[in-house]
Amino acid sequence: MSGGVNLHGIWAIYRSEMARTVRTVWQSVATPVITTALYFIVFGGAIGSRMQQVGGVGYGAFIVPGLIMLTLLTQSISNASVGIYFPKFTGTVFEILSAPLSAIEAVIAYVGAAASKSVVIGLIILVTSTFFTDVHILHPGWMVAFLLLTSIAFSLFGFIIGIWARSFEQLAIIPSLVVTPLTFLGGAFYSIDMLRQPWRTVSLFNPVVYLVSGFRWSFYGIGDVGVGASLAFTAGFMAACLLLLWWIFRTGWRLKP
């Protein structure tokens, strides 16, 4: 305990979650690398041969931020949701709730571990992408900021899903049936400026558009929406998740019988 914050408790949970990832490190690393290679073969080869540039950027380089964001969203949600669901599934969540660990400290530990894993995988994809295309990062500071903010925000979202889920099927519903389709329709592999009306306007109601656009701006200085709107959405989404988590721990919803 240090300064009223249970650092030992936070570190114990964080270390345990990271150790679970280390046990499956080859799967954790190999899957995004192989998936990234396949995306470049399919999208870069098939589409890139017909569409050389988008917004003055080569198509292969253009899809890199979208690829990273696609993996970042799914991995953040998956890591955080599984991290809290397993204690619920095995019944050990009651030990966590009765331990000298506040709700904030528990969230920091689980979300911190999930976000750390997602950032590492995102960087692996970034490095892998350089073997297929030339990647230039105009605003590296903002790139790191978007990487961290998105990972934390969607790890919080995943944590909420893990608390809400009552089965492994429910655990996979939102990432596979909501987040992944929204990412594909959110400008990850194309610019929404290429769409005709009214589909371009409809796309602006897709929250993933703001994430992908802001992240792509940090690479190439171009985006479908203003970088301020991207930051505002990310911060607003994070605040909404924190507010919901405060209510969950205050009421014990889906945590206590």
pLDDT in tens, 29-85: 787 778 878 888 787 667 766 777 788 888 888 999 999 999 899 889 999 999 999
- The DSSP secondary-structure symbol of 47 reads I
Question: What pLDDT, in 10s, does the model give residues 81-115?
Answer: 999 998 888 878 878 877 788 889 999 999 999 99
- The DSSP secondary-structure symbol of 102 reads -
Question: What pLDDT, in 10s, does the model give residues 169-206?
Answer: 889 898 888 998 998 899 988 899 888 889 999 999 99
Q: Which residue has the higher pLDDT, 237 or 21?
A: 237
Q: Could you give the CA distance from residue 77 to residue 62 in angstroms, rounded to a whole number?
A: 24
The pLDDT value given to residue 248: 93
Q: What average pLDDT score do residues 145-164 get?
A: 95
pLDDT for 1 beyond 60: no
The pLDDT value given to residue 158: 95
pTM over cut 0.85: yes
Q: Please answer whether residues 255 and 98 qualify as being in contact, where contact means their C-beta atoms are separated by less than 8 angstroms.
A: no
- List Cα–Cα distances, 190 to 13, 96, 183, 200, 222, in angstroms: 40, 44, 11, 12, 12
pLDDT for 2 beyond 70: no
pLDDT for 132 beyond 50: yes
The contacts of residue 75 (CB under 8 Å, 6+ apart) are 32, 117, 118, 121, 122
Q: How confident is the model at residue 218 (pLDDT cuts 50, 70, 90)?
A: very high
